[in-house]
Structure formats: C-alpha cells, structure tokens
Amino acid sequence: MADVVLHVKDVFKSFGGLRALNNVNLAIERGKTHAIIGPNGAGKSTLLNAIIGRLVPDSGSVTFEGDSITGLQPYEINQKGVVRVFQTPEIFPDLSLLQNVMIPVLAKREGSFRFNPFARLFEDKAVREEAMRMLEDVGLQDQSHREAANLSRGDKRRLEMAMGLVQRPRLLLLDEPTAGMSRHDTNRTIDLLQEVKARGLTKVIIEHDMHVVFSLADRITVLAQGTIICEGTPDEVRGNPKVQEAYLGGAHL
Ligand SMILES: Nc1ncnc2c1ncn2[C@@H]1O[C@H](COP(=O)(O)OP(=O)(O)OP(=O)(O)O)[C@@H](O)[C@H]1O
C-alpha cells in the first residue's frame, strides 16, 4: 500500500451559501510532489487553509502522519512539520538574507528567545552556521549580507524557500511559487524546486502556471467548484476531457 503522509477525508466547507469544498478526499504520498490545480475560485486556497489549520472544515478530517490535525491551531500543525511557503511575502525586508534565515532556525529551538532575544538573536554561532548552510543550498550565499528588500523576485522566492526548508519540514506546501514572476524567474524557481524534489521531500503545490505544474508534479488533483473532478498522473490529467472542459473551457493543457 502507498505510504500516505497526509490524508484529507470527506471534507466539506461552506462560506454562507457557497460550498467551497464539497466532499474532498486527498492522499499525499511520501516523497511525491502533488499539485492541486483548478480555475479561479475552485477551492484550492480553502483546501490548503484546511490543511494548515487556518480554517476548520465543517465536516471531514485531516490526518498527518497518522494523527488527526483537524481543528488544531496553525502553529501546532506547523510544529508537526507542515510548512507553507510563498502565500504572502514572509521575509523581513530590513534584515540581511542571513538574518532572515536565522529567525526560523532560532524559532524552532525552544528556549532560544528566553533571555533578551534581540541581543542574542544574530550572535549564536551555530544558528548562523545552520542559516548560512541553507543559503548555500539555495544559491544565495554570496548575498548573505544584503538587505532582503533589495532582492529580485526570483531571489526572494529562494530566500523564502530557505526559510521554509530550514524548518526541516515533513510536508512542504508551496502556495503559487511563481505568481507574478517573469519567465526567467519562473524557470529559476522550477530549477530550485527540482533540486528540492531530488531530496525526496513531500510537497503539495498550488500553481496556476501549467508549465510549472507539469515540470514538477508526480500527481495532480483537479478541483472545480469545490469538487475533485480528476486525480492522476500528469499524463492522465492532461488527457482527461472533463479537465479540459472544466478547467480551461475546452482549451488544451
Ligand atoms: N473567507 C471567505 N469568505 C467567503 N467566501 C470565501 C472565503 N474564502 C473563499 N471564499 C470563496 O470560496 C470559493 C473558493 O475560493 P478559493 O480561494 O479557495 O479558490 P481558489 O481555487 O484558491 O481560487 P484562486 O485560484 O482564485 O486563488 C470562492 O468562490 C471564494 O470566493
């Protein structure tokens, strides 16, 4: 049987009269990159928010590594190793790249903030080294002392990725990683995500750019109006007429 890391089971969520998730079932397999796609308003963000605890389903359950996480607070789910990156710019623009990556390293070390956090914050040698190694991993080591505000969009994504990866996620949720990017930056981000994929990390990706989806996904789930209309390999999804109809009004994926 497949090794399932995250299970979404029979999830419903309505906003007033609008059913945003309608009996959604999802199984994310270990080590796989699983894309969730669908037209605007399909329910993708609602589903992601149900996974990370930003909203609670009306009914149904979410299970991570065999434990129910339904109804837990976002920070509790994050502590279990479910990490989301990219939804909003989550970097600290006035800090250097190195300091940005040091913050999640410190945050995951319980007790680090106990004494006068700001004096100690960026002086801890071990924390600096861990953050620096992560910057090397994403190719930003030469810019570690730059202010984060001055980065290109593509490099900001690399920095956010470093801040996510340094938390040692067991499940990484990528929320529109290439939104608003140039083709050049999109391609650099695909390269970065492919490098991460090679490490075997389990990932869920929400993305509108089909080039990105088909470059990275092992499996794809298609949502339309809150309902899953198809789930399969990229080839199965690409060839499914229901998907072409619902997702792009008959255009070819
Ligand atoms: N907090 C909310 N209150 C009311 N309606 C909401 C709320 N959040 C989402 N919706 C509605 O639920 C439906 C699903 O929205 P959702 O944002 O999950 O879709 P999406 O697939 O992520 O869309 P997009 O690709 O445009 O981001 C939409 O009709 C949206 O207007």
- Tens-digit pLDDT profile for residues 106-135: 777 654 444 445 556 677 788 889 999 989
Token digits for 78?
């994050």
Q: Is the pLDDT of residue 178 over 70?
A: yes
Ligand 1 — pocket residues by CB below 6 A?
15, 18, 20, 38, 40-46
- CA-to-CA distance for 79 and 72, rounded, in angstroms? 11
Amino acid at 246: A
- CA-to-CA distance for 201 and 135, rounded, in angstroms? 18
Instruction: Judge contact between 81 and 168, C-beta under 8 A.
Output: yes
At residue 179 the predicted structure's pLDDT band, cuts being 50, 70 and 90, is: confident
Q: Is the pLDDT of residue 150 over 50?
A: yes
pTM: 0.85
Q: Is 205 helix (H, G, I), strand (E, B) or coil?
A: strand
Mean predicted lDDT score pLDDT of the chain = 86
Ligand 1 test: best mutation among 19, 45, 51, 207, most atoms within 8 Å of CB?
45
Domains of the chain by start residue, with CATH: 1-81+169-187+200-253 (3.40.50.300), 91-168 (no CATH)
Token digits for 5?
């890391």
- CA-to-CA distance for 32 and 240, rounded, in angstroms? 21
Instruction: Judge contact between 23 and 11, C-beta under 8 A.
Output: yes
